[in-house]
Amino acid sequence: MLMRRALLIAVPYLWLLLLFLVPFLIVFKISLSDIALAIPPYTPTFKDGIAELISQLDFENFVFLASDDLYWKAYLSSLQIAALSTFMTLLVGYPIAYGMARAPEEWRPTLMMLVILPFWTSFLIRVYAWMGILSSEGLLNQFLMWLGLIGEPLTILNTNVAVYIGIVYTYLPFMILPIYAALDRMDESLIEAAEDLGCSRTQAFWLVTVPLSRNGIIAGCFLVFIPALGEFVIPSLLGGSGTLMIGKVLWEEFFNNRDWPVASAVAVILLLILIVPIVLFQRNQQKQAEAEA
Amino acid sequence: MSQTIFAPWDDPNEKPLIRFENVTKKFGEFVAIDDLSLDIYTQEFFALLGPSGCGKTTMMRMLAGFENPTRGTIELSGQNIVPVPPNKRAVNMMFQSYALFPHLSVRENIAFGLKRDKMDKERIEARVAEMLKLTRLEKFAQRKPHQISGGQRQRVALARSLAKAPKLLLLDEPLGALDKKLRQDTQFELMDIQESTGTTFVIVTHDQEEAMTVASRVAVMDEGRIIQVATPANIYEYPNSVYVADFIGDVNILEGRAKPVGEDRYEVLWHEGVAPVTATSSAPFSDGQTAHLAIRPEKIAISTDRPDNADNAMEGKVLDIAYLGNLSTYHVGLPGGQVIKAQTANTRRIARRDITWEDPVWISWSATAGVLLAE
């Protein structure tokens, strides 16, 4: 019995150990190494023996990251883009979730399906589709010019605006679903009670609906913010040369410069930055679970 | 000793607090309320009683402002409130689910309505304290709704709806979620609070015992109409229809043809080969008119010997005994196959009682014990 329980607990821990901790330690080790013209492109390796290996590791790459302002600017800009796009996703996602939760019962599964539907096609294809929509000869510009709203095409593709659009579009379902779950659980008589006690519809929304969907809002924001911070595909395909995001920097270090140690150091710091919101997210989930128990 | 009896409905000069005038409410094709008129007076504890789907909740929601009548007007203190939205009405409601705000403490829940009125802080504090005291919740003021018991939640809901001192308080099945013992205690508490605050209460319930206990008047509803409005005693003793007699409490209904046999006195031929029963009625019945004699089981005496001087007496056999502790209900089968229920108080211990299953017994009642009803 005790054996079985120990085994049951051991499985997820083993999973985490093999697929998270070990790769992280490898990345961390590389971040402490030096670049070399070799395969693999860094030194020292395990071929040099453990003692030699440890004596050659140093924090040189982290010192380099701190001294070159490109990196911390990229981190800051990533944080800013992630935060702003999370906020915009909330602005778009909340009304959708609200509409879904207030829709007739028989429509809800269909609406839910529509929110999830984009996941059935490849993420990359959907981002390419946005390139077709946003480019200067793209659908959006043609439509606006046909309407006569603009005389010449707007430059949207390869700017930060396109990146925001891409992130909001891609992560919208992650915002909608937890908020919808929170609103769906809400007892509608609470709104009637608020109105009965003297609230207008708007007051009832801000005083009752929003506080009661707070956990859904927090969960949705983290689910968007965390992946958006390290986002690489969207800024590199939709963003321009001026778009500075740490995911893109990391990719360039790794593939263009073939500087694995610096790329690894960038990744380690990104992970350290992400630990804060991840821990906060976990705590929010736990608090919610306790409140429901 | 003279005592003024609270009966504003008998005073023709009294103005009603609420007046439903020819109110009809339809949901699509379904008629929830059918051309209904009703007056409710200040300081009444008025019960709307009926089976589910009879329209009692719709009446309450129209008073609160969550539904609007399809036709007709609803007046509060002489003013038509149909166009007034729920947040502008001097009416508060206690919800069946209590609808307490889960993110707010007990204190904040009670203060919620007061804050909307832009009252100053000290007055809100004072009013909340008063409400907490009234409902004996002082110790729980800082707790959240999920940290208190069902009975306490019910009291928070009551305190919250009373806090704004409404002209009219609506209670939607207020005790439905409580267990029986707590429900009985709370009924008396509700009556005390109603009396001490002087608020007019309208309660919706499907529990006839609850309606009888708390209400000054009861309206029995069925299919969107009010069948009878009267005090609990009158509803019980003088039902105006078989429906009301049957809905409130336990009753025997003997259906037959009336035959006048004297002033206000009739015989009812209710079964071939069985002696007719005699009953008095102030309502007139013509010869041969269909009549239902409604008689409560506790008005029927049961004995082993033939009683003397009884207006109605018949012999039968005990089929079943329902022992309720304080009372026993005997199901007595007559030779023709009909079953009459008779009830007696168990004033003696069970071992001393002489009637048991299969015993031949006599049941009897006086001519004035029942009510003769046309329909």
What is the domain partition of chain A in residue ranges?
Answer: 68-292
Q: How far is CA B113 from each of CA B159, B166, B167, B189, rounded to the nearest angstrom?
A: 11, 11, 15, 23
3-state secondary structure of A241: coil
Same domain, B239 and B254: no
Same domain, B189 and B287: no
Cβ(A260)–Cβ(A31) under 8 Å? no
Same domain, B184 and B322: no
Is the CB of B95 less than 8 angstroms away from the CB of A211? no
Mean pLDDT of chain B: 90
Same domain, B200 and B339: no
Q: Is residue B176 pLDDT above 90, yes or no? A: no
Which of residues B245, B278, B304 is at a domain's end? B245
Residue type at B310?
A: A
CA gap B201, B216 in Å, rounded: 10
pLDDT of residue A217: 95
- Token pair 């046909």 is found at A146
**Over its length of 293 residues, how does chain A's per-residue pLDDT go in tens digits?**
778 888 888 888 899 889 989 999 999 999 998 888 888 888 888 788 888 888 888 888 999 998 988 899 999 999 999 999 999 999 999 999 999 999 999 999 999 999 999 888 999 999 999 999 999 889 999 999 999 888 888 898 999 999 999 999 999 999 999 999 999 989 989 999 999 999 999 999 999 999 999 989 999 999 999 999 989 999 999 998 888 899 989 998 999 988 999 999 999 999 999 888 888 888 888 887 777 66
CA gap A130, B172 in Å, rounded: 54
- Token pair 């329909």 is found at B375
Of the residues B60, B92, B101, the best mutation for testing chain A's interface (the one with the most A CB atoms within 10 Å of its CB) is B101
User: B211 to chain A, minimum CA–CA distance in Å?
Assistant: 24
Tens-place pLDDT, residues B261-286 = 888 889 888 887 778 888 988 888 88
Cβ count within 10 A of residue B145: 20
Tens-place pLDDT, residues B51-109 = 988 999 999 999 999 999 999 999 999 999 999 999 999 999 999 999 999 999 999 99
User: B226 to chain A, minimum CA–CA distance in Å?
Assistant: 26
At B200, which helix (H) or strand (E)?
strand B200-205
Does residue B279 sit within a domain? yes
Share of chain B above pLDDT 90, in %: 59
Cβ(B55)–Cβ(B67) under 8 Å? no
3-state secondary structure of A17: helix
A290, closest residue in chain B (CA to CA): B146
Same domain, B189 and B311: no
CA gap B155, A82 in Å, rounded: 47
CA gap B75, B86 in Å, rounded: 14
CA gap A187, B99 in Å, rounded: 8
CA gap B227, B50 in Å, rounded: 10
User: A197 to chain B, minimum CA–CA distance in Å?
Assistant: 5
Q: Is B84 left (phi over 0), alpha (psi -120 to 50) or beta?
A: beta
Closest CA to A272 of A34, A43, A26, A75: A75
Same domain, B181 and B288: no
User: A190 to chain B, minimum CA–CA distance in Å?
Assistant: 5
Write out the DSSP string of A51-91. HHHHHH--SHHHHHHHHSHHHHHHHHHHHHHHHHHHHHHHH
Which of residues B210, B226, B245 is at a domain's end? B245
Which of residues B212, B245, B278 is at a domain's end? B245
Is the CB of B164 less than 8 angstroms away from the CB of A198? yes
Same domain, B72 and B140: yes
At B294, which helix (H) or strand (E)?
strand B290-295
Contacting B with CB below 8 Å, chain A residues are 187, 189-190, 192-200, 203, 207-208, 211-212, 214, 291
CA gap A77, A69 in Å, rounded: 12
pLDDT of residue A36: 85
Is the CB of A193 less than 8 angstroms away from the CB of B64? no
Same domain, B273 and B212: no
Same domain, B60 and B169: yes
Does residue B182 sit within a domain? yes
Categorize the per-residue pLDDT at B1 as very low, low, confident or very high, splitting at 50, 70 and 90.
Answer: very low
- The enclosing domain of B336 has a CATH number of 2.40.50.140
Is the CB of A197 less than 8 angstroms away from the CB of B116? yes
Categorize the per-residue pLDDT at B239 as very low, low, confident or very high, splitting at 50, 70 and 90.
Answer: very high
- Say whether pTM exceeds 0.95: no
CA gap B227, B206 in Å, rounded: 15
In a 13 Å sphere around the CA of B213, the CA atoms on its Cβ side amount to 17
pLDDT of residue A293: 61
Does residue B3 sit within a domain? no
Residue type at A49?
A: G
pLDDT of residue B3: 59
A189, A200, A212 ranked by CB distance to B87: nearest:
A200
A211, closest residue in chain B (CA to CA): B103
- Which residues, 6 or more positions from A91, have their beta carbon under 8 angstroms from its beta carbon? none
Same domain, B307 and B212: no
- Token pair 């001087």 is found at B309
Of the residues A196, A203, A208, A288, the best mutation for testing chain B's interface (the one with the most B CB atoms within 10 Å of its CB) is A196
Chain B hits for A197, Cβ within 8 Å: 87, 92, 112-113, 116, 160-161, 164
- The enclosing domain of B132 has a CATH number of 3.40.50.300
Chain B hits for A192, Cβ within 8 Å: 64, 66, 86, 93, 95, 99
Same domain, B205 and B309: no
Structural domain boundaries, residue B203? 8-245
User: B322 to chain A, minimum CA–CA distance in Å?
Assistant: 41
CA gap A14, A230 in Å, rounded: 26
Residue B90, chain A, CB below 8 Å: the answer is: no
Residue B272 tokens, joined: 């071939």
Q: Is ipTM beyond 0.90?
A: no
Starting at the earlier edge strand, list the strands of the sheet with B225-230. Answer: B91-94, B168-172, B200-205, B45-49, B217-222, B225-230
B164, closest residue in chain A (CA to CA): A197
Residue B189 tokens, joined: 């508490």
Same domain, B301 and B202: no
To the question of domain A68-292 being in CATH 1.10.3720.10, the answer is: yes
Q: Is residue B374 pLDDT above 90, yes or no? A: no
